[in-house]
Amino acid sequence: MNLLSWQPNHNAHGFSLIEMIIALMISAIIIVLVVEFIITSLHLQNYFSNQSDMLIASRKIVSVLSKQLREVSNGDNGGYPLVTAESYKLAFYSNIDNDAAVEQIQYYITGTNLIRAITKPTGNPLQYNPATTTTTTIATQVTNQTNSTPLFIYFNKDYPIDQTTNPLTTPINLKDVTLIKVSLHINGSTSVETFIQLRNFKTNL
């Protein structure tokens, strides 16, 4: 072989510096897109999980409230079954723990919190002393007041035939109420609605 006659093979394939830089840039972009996709997927999974949890919790709250309302009765102090009927506050008497005493139960919104307050009768004669009331925050991120959506809407015995005087408007005559619609909105995207017939009022129908 004549060494003097050897010439480099310009057809030999290899990566130039520019090609390597372009390849690295493309790889980096792909990695960024994959990471962003994973992060977005995790956020969505967490969001839908939270939505599911809030929906389950909301349904449980409304279910408990429904059960308590369906068993309304006169208070142990002789009070009428309904105590307060407002858009964002409802108070009534019901025996919620199957003992001998009838409790006074209140549900009301404070800011974005839904509060349940329970007062057991004490004394002789029996009275409902606010000092003995136990309050519990049963839901947060409640948006009813923010969205001007009543938590409670009230109807009389003529609903749904009579939709002129229904739903009832404030100030509400407690003795007119036989049906209550509960509409709980949480986080602006989760809502649970139900109608509750006051069983002990059915004789008024």
Residue 101 per-residue DSSP state: P
Across the chain, mean pLDDT equals 86
| Contacts of 58 by beta carbon, 8 Å cutoff, 6+ apart | 139, 184, 186, 190, 191, 192
The predicted model scores a pTM of 0.75
pLDDT tens figures, 7-36: 555 555 556 888 788 888 888 888 888 888
Query: Does the pLDDT of residue 4 top 80, yes or no?
Result: no
pLDDT in tens, 143-178: 999 889 999 999 999 999 999 999 999 899 999 999
Whether the per-residue pLDDT at 181 is higher than 50: the answer is: yes
Give per-residue pLDDT as tens, 26-66: 888 888 888 888 887 777 766 655 666 777 888 999 999 99
Which range is least confidently modeled, 37-41, 94-98, 124-128? 37-41
Give the distance, in angstroms, between the CA of residue 44 and the centroid of all CA atoms in the same chain.
19
The more confident residue out of 119 and 97 is: 119
- 27's CB contacts (< 8 A; 6+ apart) are none
Q: Give dist(CA 30, CA 25) in Å, integer.
A: 9
Domain positions in the chain:
50-204
pLDDT of residue 66: 93
